[in-house]
Amino acid sequence: MSVLVLAEHEAGALKPATLNTVAAAVRLGGDVHLLVAGAGVAAVAQVAAQVVGVAKVLVAESEALAHPLAEPLAALIVALAPAYGHILAPATTTGKNVLPRVAALLDVAQVSEIVAVVAPDTFIRPIYAGNALATVRSIDAIKVITVRATGFEPAVASGGAASIEAIAVPGLPGLSRFVEAQLSKSERPELTSARIVISGGRGMQSGDNFHLLESIADKLGAAVGASRAAVDAGFVPNDFQVGQTGKIVAPDLYIAVGISGAIQHLAGMKDSKVIVAINKDEEAPIFQVADYGLVADLFKALPELRQGLS
Amino acid sequence: MKILVAVKRVVDYNVKVRVKSDKSGVETANIKFSMNPFDEIAVEEAVRLKEAGTATEIVAVSVGPQAATETLRTALAMGADRGILVQTEAEIQPLAVAKILKCLAEKEQPGLVLLGKQAIDDDSNQTGQMLAALLGRPQGTFASKLAVADGSVAVTREVDGGLETVALELPAVVTADLRLNEPRYASLPNIMKAKKKPIETVTPEALGVDVAPRLITLSVEEPAKRQAGIKVADVATLVEKLKSEAKVI
């Protein structure tokens, strides 16, 4: 049986987590088909066809799919489902929104946020905020799975030559309507795919002080993140949040500044290759996971760090 | 408008869970259980909608063991009007919970169903979406703001890029994210009053719902522990280590 992967895309480009999801799909055996759904998606279909490991790109072109609303997108996937043994999506806010709806319509379970494929029916997924790893086997005929990007090295984005096939879009439900989006604009890399992430916590004291992190981020080509405490305090918007219920990141270098290291934050970053913690409280739990800890006042350390990187 | 709100009894968020030595799950004997924090936010939102005159009645539902009655009492103390316990000792997975809630929603006919976006034990993040699918109704997941107005609800959602607002036809299913509100603490008089509020008990069998698990847990293990590294004396040493030892900058 083939594997269907829901591609996530924006402005003519694939979102990076799509590549990690393709990598997971390749491990299941069978042809991998990438579904590109949206309005005006011809260009992104061309990009998708170059991903190594993808056999076919299915293009669903419809105004009803211009925004990835769960109701029409799930209906589309369910219509395609009989031809597939597995249906995968990245565990992004889009994948997490759409795929359980697909699973319920197919009367199958969903396996959420897998981090490893043990066998085509057996997967490893974190539970209890990553404090335990469960190995689970699905007994359903169709396996519906969301993939945690940090569990899989991304598929190579170019060099493949998949066929592109336009598919007929069935009648889609109109129960929901997109109203507006307020998206953060940033020249910096995306948090979930950045090679370096520098995050601030409550210790930053205000949103204005995040410029101290931003200037270092720009020197390092890093993304800027935050702890839940910093987001709850209104320092930065929700899309900065790294943690169990925010974004899960695993960069080569994660720099935690003024972050105490609550379990729910650690759940979002403890798989980073190298972790640096800067905190004035030497008892802060963040130091228990940090490769390099610096006990210091961040308002003194950050300017020095910026200087040191010049 | 009636609101149905689903609440789950989970290991308290402050408990550091330990994996059982036989790898069958995590230790749950003699530890504190509480209402799933996201469900508390859902209950709070329901209560606020009632206080604002938008909702007329709040029905809290929990699926789980007899002890989940305590979770329902918490919801009643916060302001829910009555409770339904769907009592079972079996392992109940999200699809089964969604099917149970569908039965109850068809009976109760709520205008809005509120749930937490995920439970902090299995971290599945599925039940609300599945319920919406089974009911054939729209869903607003990861909500940070709700506005109900004639036959529809505008839901502002926390998405990876920022915020997104969708308009849903009612009835609809909405799942609560962290910043939807800050749940209240129940006052002592309200806790006392909650003891007198009705809780009806039913079983999945009586509702005719097949709750057999579709995912078989083969083992539960502790993740590899990360070792604490070294403390560096100053910023210069840190930069030097990152360059020459870790080679990440």
Residues A42-86: tens digit of each pLDDT: 999 999 999 999 999 999 999 999 999 999 999 999 999 999 999
Shared domain for A108 and A156, answered yes or no, is yes
Token look-up 């799930």 returns A74
Classify burial at B207, counting beta carbons within 10 Å of its beta carbon; exposed 0-12, middle 13-18, buried 19 or more. Answer: middle
Shared domain for A264 and A158, answered yes or no, is no
Name the residue among B98, B137, B165 with its Cβ closest to that of A179: B165
Does the residue A127 lie in any domain? yes
Token look-up 């419809």 returns A62
Contacts of A228 in chain B (CB under 8 A): 178
Name the residue among A10, A104, A176 with its Cβ closest to that of B167: A176
pLDDT, average across residues A6-18: 95
Shared domain for A122 and A233, answered yes or no, is no
Does the residue A181 lie in any domain? no
Report the SS3 class of residue B82: strand
Q: Give the whole-angstrom CA distance, residue A248 versus residue A114.
A: 13
Does the residue A187 lie in any domain? no
Shared domain for A6 and A142, answered yes or no, is yes
Name the nearest CA neighbour of B85 among B73, B98, B96: B73
pLDDT, average across residues A267-291: 96
Contacts of A280 in chain B (CB under 8 A): none
Does the residue B236 lie in any domain? no
Does the residue B238 lie in any domain? no
Would the CB atoms of B246 and A175 count as touching at under 8 Å?
no
Shared domain for A85 and A142, answered yes or no, is yes
Contacts of B163 in chain A (CB under 8 A): 181-183, 237-238
Domain boundary among A166, A182, A206: A166
The token duo for B22 is 């036989």
Does the residue A98 lie in any domain? yes
Shared domain for A82 and A140, answered yes or no, is yes
Would the CB atoms of B179 and A113 count as touching at under 8 Å?
no
Residue A243 annotated as part of some ligand binding site: yes
Confidence band, pLDDT 50/70/90 cuts, at residue B23 = very high
The token duo for A280 is 């004035």
Does the residue A176 lie in any domain? no
Name the residue among A101, A129, A138 with its Cβ closest to that of B129: A101
Shared domain for A155 and A78, answered yes or no, is yes
Shared domain for A153 and A228, answered yes or no, is no
State how far the alpha carbon of B185 is from the alpha carbons of A61, A164, B11, B59, B78, in Å. Answer: 49, 56, 19, 19, 7
**Above pLDDT 90, what percent of chain B?**
96
| Minimum Cα–Cα distance from B16: chain A residue | A131
Residue B180: domain span: 2-222
On the question of pLDDT at A280 being above 90, the answer is yes
**CATH number, domain at B46?**
3.40.50.620
On the question of pLDDT at A186 being above 90, the answer is no
**In sequence order, what are the residues at sequence separation of 6 or more whose Cβ sits closer than 8 angstroms to the Cβ of residue A147?**
A17, A20, A21, A24, A88, A89, A90, A91, A95, A113, A114
| Tens of pLDDT, residues A111-170 | 999 999 999 999 999 999 999 999 999 999 999 999 999 999 999 999 999 999 999 999
Contacts of B11 in chain A (CB under 8 A): 128
Does the residue A242 lie in any domain? yes
Instruction: Tell me what pLDDT residue B228 has.
Output: 86
Residue A265 annotated as part of some ligand binding site: yes
pLDDT, average across residues B82-100: 97
On the question of pLDDT at B104 being above 90, the answer is yes
Q: Output the average pLDDT for chain B.
A: 97
Does the residue A178 lie in any domain? no
Confidence band, pLDDT 50/70/90 cuts, at residue B227 = confident
**CATH number, domain at A30?**
3.40.50.620
Q: If you ran DSSP here, which 8-state letter would residue B19 be given? A: B
Q: Give the whole-angstrom CA distance, residue A113 versus residue A124.
A: 9
Instruction: Tell me what pLDDT residue B51 has.
Output: 98
Please name the amino acid found at residue B177.
D
Residue A302: domain span: 196-308
Shared domain for A32 and A103, answered yes or no, is yes
| Minimum Cα–Cα distance from A303: chain B residue | B235
| Minimum Cα–Cα distance from A112: chain B residue | B124
Contacts of B93 in chain A (CB under 8 A): 109
- Per residue in B184-202, is it b (16+ CB within 10 Å) or e — as a string? eebeeeeeeebeebeeeeb
Q: What's the start-to-end Cα distance of chain A, in Å?
A: 54
Shared domain for A94 and A227, answered yes or no, is no
The values of phi and psi at residue A143, to 5°, are: -95, 120
Shared domain for A27 and A74, answered yes or no, is yes
Task: Tell me how many degrees the CA angle A56-A247-A274 measures, rounded to the nearest 5.
Answer: 100
Domain boundary among A151, A166, A181: A166
Confidence band, pLDDT 50/70/90 cuts, at residue B107 = very high
The residue that leads in pLDDT, B36 or B14, is B36
Would the CB atoms of B235 and A305 count as touching at under 8 Å?
yes
| Tens of pLDDT, residues B155-207 | 999 999 999 999 999 999 999 999 999 999 999 999 999 999 999 999 999 99
Q: Output the average pLDDT for chain A.
A: 96
Domain count, chain A: 2
Domain count, chain B: 1
Shared domain for A204 and A290, answered yes or no, is yes
Does the residue B55 lie in any domain? yes
Classify burial at B74, counting beta carbons within 10 Å of its beta carbon; exposed 0-12, middle 13-18, buried 19 or more. Answer: buried
Does the residue B149 lie in any domain? yes
Instruction: Tell me what pLDDT residue A310 has.
Output: 85
Instruction: Tell me what pLDDT residue A28 has.
Output: 98
pLDDT, average across residues B60-81: 98
**B29 neighbors B12 (Cβ within 8 angstroms):** no
H/E run at residue B169 = strand B162-169
Name the residue among A69, A93, A135 with its Cβ closest to that of B218: A135
The values of phi and psi at residue B190, to 5°, are: -70, -35
Q: What is the ipTM of this complex?
A: 0.96
Does the residue A184 lie in any domain? no
Name the residue among B138, B214, B236 with its Cβ closest to that of A308: B236
Residue A227 annotated as part of some ligand binding site: yes
Report the SS3 class of residue A241: strand
User: E strands, A194-291, where?
Assistant: 196-200, 223-226, 253-257, 274-279
State how far the alpha carbon of A89 is from the alpha carbons of A21, B78, B118, in Å. Answer: 7, 37, 18
**Above pLDDT 90, what percent of chain A?**
94
